[in-house]
Structure formats: C-alpha cells, structure tokens
Amino acid sequence: MRIVPLLASAAAATALVVAGLAAPAAAATQTRTDAAGDAGEPFGPASEGVLASADIRTLKGVHGADTLTFTFTVADLIAPDFFTDVDASVRMRTPGGTDYRAAFSVFQNQKFLSLSKAGGTTDVDCDGLVGRVLPAKDQLVVVVPRSCVRNPRTVLFGGVTSTASGIGADASVAVDDARRNGGDDLEEIRLGTRPLARG
C-alpha cells in the first residue's frame, strides 16, 4: 500500500537531480589585491586626490558564459569632468597566446572604448564592449564579450588605471598597476600567473 508514496518520492528526487543538471554554471571569479598607496607619478609629483583616484585596491575578473567582466576598485575615484580624465585598461592573453587590450577612458565628459590585439594595426570590431564609471563605489568596470576574443576557455589578465587632472603645467597624473610588484607603465601591463577559467 506504500507503492504510490514511494513512487512519488522517487519522481521528486529525479526532478531535483534533473533541475540541478540543468542549472547554469556559476561564473568563475578571481580577485587580485593590490598594495595601498602605490600609485606612480610618471610626470612628477601628483596631488593626493589624483593619486587616490588611480590607486588600485582590487581588480576582480569574472569569466561568465558570454562576457569577461573586470572591476577595478580604487581608493577614492574622482568623478571625471571636463578637466579630469580617468582610464582603465585590461590586458588579456588567451590559451593560443593572443594578447588583447580593452581600453576605457572618460575625458571631457566623453566616453572612449576600444579593443585591440597585439601586433594589429587596427582595433578589433567588438559590439557590446562596455565601460562604466561608478564614483559612488570607487569603481571602473570594463566588460568584454567573449566572442570578441574568440571565446577562450581561460584568460590570463592584468590591468592598469590612471587619472589625470588639470591643464598644462598644473596637470597632475597618477598611474597604478594591479600587482603588488607592478609599476606605472601604461604600455606594459603585467599579467597575472593564474588563469581565469570559464565558469
């Protein structure tokens, strides 16, 4: 007389297993912590505010089903305006050894985004490339569609930020690399050593 309840229990258990198998995988996340107060001054002494705006505290990479999302959190981000430029660049290396760079800048109240490939002479055409400035959270966010970098299984990544404020001799510039032993070279972004796999 207990056959029906047992069958019902078995059916419910099977449904749970199937639902678990059908659930999408969680996006893989990797967070780098950078030393505080290590922003560089490539063109001479920078103001405290500009140094804090470029000073990376963490760089988080998220490898999702369709996008690679990189979030820079800095000490105290200055909201960009007509006299203040904020930038974030991410370098990505795919398993085949191809190097890409996604660059995001806000200058004179205009947003600029590009994706390039090492050795290439033109930008990579990439619909869906996104950049966000979130001063309330002290964050710069760069989102790269995986299809624009040939849908890699893993990526090595690194990043830099910079802030420039003022005009001419009064300009103040600061740069930071998201590595504890990094430098202030905007052109040579150092990669991490641990691949960020797709979730």
pLDDT tens per residue, range 143-178:
999 999 999 999 999 999 999 999 877 889 999 999
Structural domain contains residue 157: yes
CA distance 177 to 186: 8
Structural domain contains residue 154:
yes
Hey, what long-range contacts does 131-137 have (CB within 8 A, 24 or more apart)?
131/88, 131/104, 131/105, 131/106, 133/77, 133/79, 133/80, 133/86, 133/106, 134/77, 135/77, 135/78, 135/79, 137/73
Q: Into how many domains does the chain fold?
A: 1
**Which residue segment(s) compose the domain that 149 sits in?**
26-197
**Could you tell me the pLDDT band of residue 6, with boundaries at 50, 70 and 90?**
very low
In a domain, residue 71? The reply is yes
Residue 3 lies in a domain: no
pLDDT top residue among 189 and 11? 189
pLDDT at 187: 66
- Residue 119 belongs to some domain of the structure: yes
**What pLDDT score was predicted for residue 167?**
81
In a domain, 21, yes or no: no
Q: What is the C-alpha to C-alpha distance for residues 168 and 187, in angstroms, rounded to an integer? A: 22
The answer to whether residue 51 is domain-embedded is yes
What confidence tens digit (pLDDT) does each residue in 24-70 have?
A: 556 799 999 999 999 999 888 899 999 999 999 999 999 999 999 99
CB atoms < 10 A from the CB of 102, how many? 27
Q: Of 76, 60, 14, 53, give the one whose Cα is nearest residue 157.
A: 60
Helices then strands, each counted (H, E), the chain: 2, 11
Is 17 a member of any domain? no
